[in-house]
Chain A
């Protein structure tokens, strides 16, 4: 079965006065119909730039797609014109951004913003559009949609605004929903509401979701597959079981060890990953994680590791997987 979205060897760089920043440096992954995948990584790892490239929202100076292909519904997005992209964005692909304060136009009512999308993509207008807009607001759990539809964004709270964003993203029942840190700016109890909403929607509408976040807890809740990025590259990918219980990359492992768990019983020490994320202006040769890795070998500083297949769906880019490398066991997690 063909993948809904297939990204092959994508490269996106930004050209600044200081040089070329290789924000995304050879990223390949796929999303199938109806599945939710999570892309995790810290700031600067390239996760946002990756999906912004998929949406073709990278400002073209200073950014530039340097290579690769993005196959969506049979078309290569990299090659499409802006006009063709506009018919895809909002219709086949919906996007939710992080900051609900700035993602909505403050001078238009919420109703107008919803009906605008409907008008442009579905050709609805007037009563039909308003009816659909009200349906959407109800779908995302906004109480009293008839009065809310006439209100302006500033009259909504952060969580409500995010729901409106989700409504806008879902207006045309897109096949793919991209959520870029949708709950980072929200309080934890509001985040729980939004995640519950997204879970329900996923089951009801069967949209595929790409969720970008740095929070491994959210991913464990909402997604079925995980992609871990570091320094502009994908370093490990697998399903939930693989990543959380059998991680093979030292970074993934380090990340899991360094975050406190609410249900931890003993007051143990967190084990941080030493050092800082790499400078993408002058990335280290070889593995991007090598400077911080406790298992760093000579080859790690010289050559970029290749991808090894651990099992179906579980891939990792690490020299420790090479047959000649010493065997390293990460202690099991329960």
Chain B
């Protein structure tokens, strides 16, 4: 087949061998993209956003507050004026739920923040140094674990004096850091032997540098996931505390204390229990979906 002769002239190759065509993405952007594709996870995220707006911005919109009594209007069923009804003292239940939401969510986030700090620090040291130090530190955790969580919580609450919001946050943070520590330790133990960590050590990196620049950033995946799943756990535990009376004290509310109040009158007025319980359940479900979504998004095997 005869072709145009000029086709056989030499050509400089068009494609530059060292050019990168695709736009730069960090691991976080990559993970976010995968997260957004997960419908359940996004539904969870949207729900959480809705709940946060409900709890933190809602009170500015609604005209009721959480403490004004109105003894003429107690135990009203849900209506247009009081969408969630009123409680035993005539306070608007929706407002109580909103303020209560602030408390519950705040406790969830802050206590997990505390638990994260302790856990990452403890687990990081244990995993990095390994050997005997690791052994001793893990045995300490085993010992702490052998006592049931609730016992600790109750004891600590009794010791610290009940009720204060800060107290509850601290106690929940202190009681739950062990799981995070174990996970971080496992991650660090594995990452320690990665060649990029060895390379940093060969360059002369200090322990602090290794931890802060190399180890912890690469362990973030499981840390974020564990935190996301620890928040509903903390919220639930706070609910339980308030339920048994050593958590939030009246006139303040949390979803747990509201549920406790509502327990008294289930046959005649189920709404008082229903709405706070629903709020807790929805929050936990949403966080679980988000947590699962995060786990899938950070899974390196699913990359590309």
Contact = CB atoms under 8 A, between A and B. Distances in A.
Among A293, A295, A324, residue most surrounded by chain B Cβ atoms (within 10 Å): A324
A297 B17 contact: no
Interface in A284-319: 284, 290-293, 295-302, 319
Interface stretch (B8-16, B38-46, B65-73, B186-194): B8-16
A297 B3 CA distance: 13
Interface residues of A, number: 25
A243 to B, nearest CB: 25
Contacts of B24: none
A274 B17 CA distance: 8
Nearest to A302: B7
Interface in B1-51: 2-3, 5-15, 17, 21
B184 to A, nearest CB: 29
A30 interface: no
A326 interface: yes
Nearest to A293: B13
B22 to A, nearest CB: 9
Nearest to B6: A298
Given A297-B8, A299-B8, A324 B13 contact: no
B70 to A, nearest CB: 57
B13 A290 contact: yes
B8 to A, nearest CB: 5
B132 interface: no
A320 to B, nearest CB: 9
Nearest to B17: A275
Interface in A1-35: 16, 18
A326 B11 contact: no
Contacts of B2: 324
A16 B17 contact: no
B304 interface: yes
B3 to A, nearest CB: 6
A16 B10 CA distance: 36
A274 B12 CA distance: 13
A301 B17 contact: no
B10 A291 contact: no
A265 interface: no
B10 A297 contact: yes
B17 A291 contact: yes
A168 to B, nearest CB: 28
A298 B9 contact: yes
A79 interface: no
Contacts of A324: 2-3, 5, 7-8
A18 B304 CA distance: 8
A97 B10 CA distance: 42
A122 to B, nearest CB: 38
A16 B304 contact: yes
B7 A299 contact: yes
A322 B8 contact: yes
Given A16-B304, A322-B3, A324-B2, A300 B11 contact: yes
B11 A325 contact: no
Contacts of B13: 275, 290-293, 296, 301
B37 to A, nearest CB: 8
Interface string A99-113: 000000000000000
Interface string A268-282: 000000111001001
A302 B3 CA distance: 13
Nearest to A324: B8
A301 B5 contact: no
A298 B15 contact: no
A301 B15 CA distance: 10
Contacts of B14: 291, 301
Contacts of A292: 13, 17
Contacts of A301: 11, 13-14
Given A298-B7, A299-B8, 10 more contacts: A18-B304, A274-B17, A275-B13, A284-B15, A291-B15, A295-B10, A298-B8, A301-B11, A324-B8, A326-B8
Interface of B: 2-3, 5-15, 17, 21, 304
9 contacts: A276-B17, A282-B21, A292-B13, A296-B11, A296-B12, A297-B11, A299-B8, A322-B3, A322-B8
Interface of A: 16, 18, 274-276, 279, 282, 284, 290-293, 295-302, 319, 322, 324-326
Q: Which 3 A-B pairs have the closest CB atoms?
A: A299-B7, A275-B17, A291-B15
